[in-house]
Amino acid sequence: MATTRTELLEIIRNGENSGVEFNRDAIQNLALAKELVAFSNFEGGMVLLGVEDDGSVSGITRPDPEMFVMNSCRDKIRPGLIPFYERVKDVEPGRDVVVVRVSRGLDVHTLWHDNKNVYFIRVGTQSREPTPKELGRLFRQRGGFRAELRPVSGATFADLDLRRLKNYFARVRQQDVPADDDEAAWATLLFNTEIMVEDGITVSGILLFGRTPNRFLPQAGIDAVAYPGVDKEYAARERSALRGPITPLLNDAGEIVEAGLVEQALAFVNRNIAIINQLEVGGARREEIPAYPREAVREAIVNALVHRDYLLSSTDIELSIYEDRMEIVSPGRLPNGITPVRMLTGCRAARNQLIKDVMRDYRYLEHSGMGVPRKIVKSMKEHNGTAPMLIEEGERFTMRLVR
């Protein structure tokens, strides 16, 4: 709907806000695209060209403002925007104002410049780059973004563990792999499997196969603590910062020669949980029964690594062992409408699909995706008659196993 001169003057008198930005006609295409990206990533808004920051009307002077606006939206915004455009005549005598309006985007838009994408959101009267948490929330709202495929700033092919990559493609997937020094062929393979994107190595690629994932993603680890009692205490039995890639390194016989995060966490648990019983087997051999079923513990650890929100920076997975329980805390809310109740019934939804697929290839996950009810719930009930407690509080999800 067209804007009348009276309506426009009222908008100008009210000043800039979360949905209105003033700019003189001399604005550059990058600056205009930045404002429109921020509005589209918020709730929509308008840029008034020919209006100074103080609200005075300086008017339009460039010969073809419509072409300038449309080219800016097509050339400098990804995905491209088609804004509502209108020119309001004689807002002040002899001075026109161009109104460029965008609605709330169905996609998340970026400013495209120097062959890279930059995100912006509207914060009050400013257009700013979002924090990782804000960007993650924005993509979850739009429903079309996979945070695990974000490029990791500064990470290159040299930061991946070529031994693990060869393990995965040759042994696990049983396919041919390029020569070690054929970086171009490796780039093609990694691009086609989403371990790499145009702007570099993805979050999932670094987490799964990185030499030192925490160099780029400080939150890519597990903080493990074993307490002597039922509360958090300074004097723990053991504290350990578990670091490294998620995947293990295998030898030619398929045996693990370098542990991934799953094996590191399981080793920590094995060191710190009590043996509650020993069964006589065949008269001579005794079988040790741990305080928690190993299958349930393994599944809970794998689920935390696969489904946590890796956009929440500086927040590790927490593995805590108490005298009466074990807790595994994942940063982030449950993804895609999943609730604790739905998890218990086997409802499946992946936040990090690539990580899930790779872990399934290594047989950490079953193809049915029914690990919670079939492995955790069933084994805990058979073990000691208890059910796992699934707790979502704020930006944390806790899996609690009771001894």
Same domain, yes or no: 374 and 270: yes
Question: Among 70, 67, 91, which Cα is nearest to 81's?
Answer: 70
> Is 0.75 surpassed by the pTM of this model?
no
Indicate whether 249 and 367 sit together in one domain: yes
Find the domain containing 202 and state its range: 157-216
Query: Taking a C-beta distance cutoff of 8 angstroms, is the pair 360, 367 a contact?
Result: yes
Alpha helices in 63-152 (DSSP H): 65-75, 132-142
CATH code for the domain of 89: 3.30.950.30
What's the structural domain count of the chain? 3
Question: Is 292 inside any structural domain?
Answer: yes
Q: Are residues 191 and 116 in the same domain?
A: no
The beta-strand segments (E) located in 156-264 are 196-197, 200-201, 222-226, 238-242, 249-250, 256-258
Q: Determine contact, residues 332/312, Cβ cutoff 8 Å.
A: yes
Q: pLDDT value at position 301?
A: 95
Q: Tell me: do 239 and 112 sit in the same domain.
A: no
Distance CA 99, CA 114 (A): 28
Q: Helix crossing, 29-40 with 65-75: angle to 10°?
A: 60
Residue 146 forms part of a structural domain: no
| 312, part of any domain | yes
Q: In terms of domains, do 249 and 350 share one?
A: yes
What element of type H or E holds 188? Answer: helix 183-192
**One domain, residues 235 and 372:** yes
Q: What is the four-CA torsion angle of 394, 397, 402, 403, rounded to 10 degrees?
A: -120
Is residue 182 in some structural domain? yes
Mark whether 273 and 371 lie in a shared domain. Answer: yes
CATH code: domain of residue 329 = 3.30.565.60
Residue 144 lies in a domain: no
In a shared domain, residues 229 and 375: yes
66 and 203 both lie in a single domain: no
Tell me what pLDDT residue 201 has: 93
Q: Would you say residue 266 lies in a domain?
A: yes
Split the chain (403 residues) into runs of 10 and give each run's mean pLDDT.
Answer: 88 95 94 96 94 96 94 88 92 96 86 86 94 79 72 90 95 93 93 86 95 92 94 90 96 90 96 72 64 92 90 85 94 76 72 89 78 87 91 89 92
Same domain for 259 and 171: no
Query: Does 152 map to a domain?
Result: no
358/241 same-domain check: yes
Domain-terminating residue out of 216, 249, 266: 216
In a shared domain, residues 231 and 179: no
pLDDT at 82: 85
Does any domain span residue 147? no
Question: Coil, helix or strand for 301?
Answer: helix
Are residues 222 and 261 in contact, defined by beta-carbon separation less than 8 angstroms? Answer: yes
Of 196, 216, 236, the residue that ends a domain is 216
